Amino acid sequence: MTTNVSNLQIDAEQLWNDIHDTAQFGATAKGGVKRLTLTAEDEQVRDWFRAACTAAGCEVHVDTLGTIYAIRPGRDMTLEPIGIGSHLDTQPTGGKYDGILGTLAALEVVRTLNRAEIETERPICIVNWTNEEGSRFAPAMMASAVYAGDFTTEDILERRDADGVSVGDALDAIGYRGSEPVGQIRLNSFVELHIEQGPILEAENKTIGVVDHGQGIIWYDGKITGFASHAGATPMPLRRDALAALSEVVLKVEELALAHGPHAVGTIGEVTIANPSRNVIAGDLAFTMDLRSPDSATLDALDRELGAAVAAIAARRRVDIALERVWRKEPTHFNAALVDAVEQATGRLGYSHRRVTSGAGHDACNLSAVMPAAMIFVPCKDGVSHNELEDATQADCAAGANVLLHTVISLAGVAK
């Protein structure tokens, strides 16, 4: 073999073009992407991705939750593949990079190995995990959670979106309910490239974040039942206003997260008032809540203090507040040897870097419970993500993909 493996680079232009070409599937007027999982737009990008993986010589498999696995053969097919990839679904106000970068960079890694005619010892498997975002179906990262044994496939197939459509029906509607049981394709390890989605790398002028930890997450579904009555005729002291009660809950979440800071965050991202009307006091509403910390004991404390505070608000305001904990994900400690492999590849390539904790949840966090996993971060503009303004540079995307390439080469081994 004549190729100098240590100098190998991905095709930065090709990766950039792929990111922008696929951004047409669900493109929004503000320059972002709205491609909720298992929708027609998701089907379009999946079809594009499947065809591109096949053209790159991969054998494509789809499991019963629609996760796509594209395997580039290795010399020794008895060895489990190195998994690389991320997700192609987005938030309702998503950008062009969250998830997409890691999935398309994985494809570009395979194409780069093809162009250089490098055979690896282990196979490599590009993965597009179904429903990473969790905005249509909860929980987020549901397919990798099933892979890791946190939920059963049957349970997840029955989860429903706000319109009552189940995951199973949504998979059938776009033709992506595959035949292979989740977990049938065993991976040796998993490496995910992602934009940072926070401000640290940009502020410190670092090209690569070597991710060693991920935050723990608790999600709640909440309901407040007060009493709907006339906005003009109901005296203030007699009101049982569900929205006023929620306002106190929102401020309490902010207060608790600040009190446990800097390593705690809390968000109420969705509120639905039942039968809203300008001149009716809100009687019933539903909301969601997201609490995070990299420290499990802090999550416990937030959970406990929140419960007590909510009970006090409900009693004082004479409303009923039901808070159901629908998901808890423990903090992630990524595999030390794999994190070192990412750091070493970064060092060999000469990129500036630092260790970081992921604020966002990722499929790699779920997988880390059942296999060695690691993540590579690159900066995004102003740390903005889950927003149509999300932006990253071609050079940083290429740097991240090069680190992915060289980490994978070190893990998969070059066939002699």
- Distance of closest approach, residue 360 Cβ to Mn ion, in angstroms: 6
- Distance of closest approach, residue 132 Cβ to Mn ion, in angstroms: 5
Q: What is the number of other CB atoms lying within 10 angstroms of the CB of residue 118?
A: 16
Contact flags string 301-340 toward ligand GLV, x per CB under 6 A: ----------------------------------------
- Distance of closest approach, residue 136 Cβ to Mn ion, in angstroms: 12
CB closer to ligand GLV out of 133 and 241? 133
Residue 94 binding: pick among Mn ion, ligand GLV, none (C-beta 5-8 Å cut-off by kind): none
- Distance of closest approach, residue 142 Cβ to ligand GLV, in angstroms: 11
Which residues does residue 216 pair with via DSSP β-bridges, in sequence order?
293
- Distance of closest approach, residue 153 Cβ to Mn ion, in angstroms: 22
DSSP letters spanning 34-82: ---TTSHHHHHHHHHHHHHHHHTTPEEEEBTT--EEEEEP-S-TTSPPE
CB closer to Mn ion out of 18 and 98? 98
Q: Answer yes or no whether residue 289 interacts with ligand GLV by CB under 6 A.
A: no
CB closer to Mn ion out of 31 and 307? 31
Contact 46, 176 (CB under 8 A): yes
Residues 126, 144: Cα–Cα separation, whole Å: 14
Q: What is the dihedral of CA 37, 38, 40, 44, to 10 degrees?
A: 80
Residue count, binding to ligand GLV (CB under 6 A): 5
Check the CA dihedral 87-100-23-288 and report its sign.
positive
Name residues whose C-beta falls within 8 Å of residue 262's C-beta, 6 or more positions apart in sequence. Answer: none
- Distance of closest approach, residue 133 Cβ to ligand GLV, in angstroms: 6
Q: Answer yes or no whether residue 367 interacts with ligand GLV by CB under 6 A.
A: no
Residues 53, 60: Cα–Cα separation, whole Å: 7
The owner of tokens 């006339």 is 230
Distances (CA, A) of 335 to 140, 247, 361, 413: 22, 41, 16, 19
Q: What is the number of other CB atoms lying within 10 angstroms of the CB of residue 51?
A: 11
Binding to ligand GLV (CB under 6 A) within 117-146 occurs at 133-134, 140
Residues 313, 322: Cα–Cα separation, whole Å: 12
Binding residues vs Mn ion (CB under 5 A): 98-99
CB closer to ligand GLV out of 53 and 140? 140
CB closer to Mn ion out of 98 and 284? 98
CB closer to ligand GLV out of 210 and 360? 360
Q: Which residue has the CB atom at the shortest distance from Mn ion?
A: 99
Q: Answer yes or no whether residue 360 interacts with ligand GLV by CB under 6 A.
A: yes
CB closer to Mn ion out of 133 and 241? 133
Residues that bind ligand GLV (CB under 6 A): 133-134, 140, 360-361
